[in-house]
Amino acid sequence: MTEILAFTSAYLCGLAARQLGLPPLVGYLLAGFVLHFAGLGNTDTLHLFAELGITLLLFTIGLKLDLRSLLKPQIWAVGGLHLLLSMLLGMGLIWLLASMALGPFASLNPTAMAVIAFGLSFSSTVFVVKVLEEHGDMNAFYGRIAIGVLIIQDIAAVIFLAFSANKLPSVWALGLILLIPFRKVLHRMLEASGHGELQILFGLSLALGGAMLFESVGVKGDLGALILGLLLAGSSRSTELVKHLLAFKDLFLVSFFLTIGLQGGLDMQTLLAAVVLGIVLLPIKSVLFFLLFSRSGMRARSAFLSALSLLNFSEFGLIVAVIAVQNMQLLQPEWTTILAIALALSFILAAPLNHASHQLYRRWRTLLLRFQGTNRLPEEMSIRPGSAQVLVFGMGRLGSNAYEQMKRKVGDAVLGIDQNEAVVERHQQAGRRVELGSSSDPEFWERMHGNLDQVCLAMLTLPTQRENLETARSLKREGYQGFIAAIARYPDEVPQLLQEGVDMAMNLYDEAGSGFADDVWQKVEPCIRAHQEKPASDPGDYISADTRFHPQEKPSAGK
333 and 391 in a single domain? The answer is no
361 and 421 in a single domain? The answer is no
d(CA 549, CA 179): 47
175 belongs to a structural domain: yes
Q: State the total domains in the chain.
A: 2
274 and 414 in a single domain? The answer is no
547 belongs to a structural domain: no
Given a contact cutoff of 8 angstroms between Cβ atoms, the answer to whether 485 and 458 are in contact is: yes
339 belongs to a structural domain: yes
Q: What is the mean pLDDT of each run of 10 residues along the chain (559 residues)?
A: 86 88 79 85 85 83 72 84 93 91 85 91 81 70 84 79 66 78 86 85 88 81 81 81 82 82 74 89 93 88 91 83 79 84 84 84 88 72 72 88 87 85 85 81 64 82 84 84 86 86 78 62 75 51 34 34
Q: What local confidence, expressed as pLDDT, does residue 12 receive?
A: 93
d(CA 75, CA 65): 13
CA distances from 174 to 131, 171, 184, 215 (A): 41, 6, 20, 13
Q: Which residues pair with 232 in a beta bridge?
A: none
345 and 430 in a single domain? The answer is no
347 and 432 in a single domain? The answer is no
d(CA 102, CA 96): 9
80 and 223 in a single domain? The answer is yes
Q: What local confidence, expressed as pLDDT, does residue 494 receive?
A: 86
Given 303, 337, 369, the domain boundary residue is 369
Q: What local confidence, expressed as pLDDT, does residue 304 receive?
A: 94
Residue 108 half-sphere exposure, CB side, CA atoms within 13 Å? 30
Backbone angles phi, psi at 530, to 5 degrees: -65, -40
434 and 290 in a single domain? The answer is no
Instruction: Report the candidate in 174, 127, 157 with the shortest Cα–Cα distance to residue 22.
Output: 127
What is the CA angle 187-192-194, rounded to 5?
A: 115
206 and 305 in a single domain? The answer is yes
228 belongs to a structural domain: yes
Instruction: Report the candidate in 514, 517, 486 with the shortest Cα–Cα distance to residue 499.
Output: 486
172 belongs to a structural domain: yes
127 and 9 in a single domain? The answer is yes
Q: What local confidence, expressed as pLDDT, does residue 298 receive?
A: 86
Query: What is the sign, positive or negative, of the torsion defined by CA atoms of 93, 96, 102, 103?
Result: positive
495 and 444 in a single domain? The answer is yes
Q: CB-based burial of residue 195 (10 Å sphere; 0-12 exposed, 13-18 middle, 19+ buried)?
A: exposed
In CATH, what number is assigned to the domain containing residue 419? 3.40.50.720
Q: What local confidence, expressed as pLDDT, does residue 166 receive?
A: 59
406 belongs to a structural domain: yes
242 and 190 in a single domain? The answer is yes
93 belongs to a structural domain: yes
d(CA 67, CA 56): 20
Backbone angles phi, psi at 393, to 5 degrees: -95, 115
Q: What local confidence, expressed as pLDDT, does residue 558 receive?
A: 35
418 and 333 in a single domain? The answer is no
In CATH, what number is assigned to the domain containing residue 358? 1.20.1530.20
Q: What local confidence, expressed as pLDDT, does residue 379 receive?
A: 63
**Residue 325 is part of which domain span?**
2-369
232 belongs to a structural domain: yes
d(CA 246, CA 189): 20
Given 311, 336, 369, the domain boundary residue is 369
d(CA 54, CA 63): 14
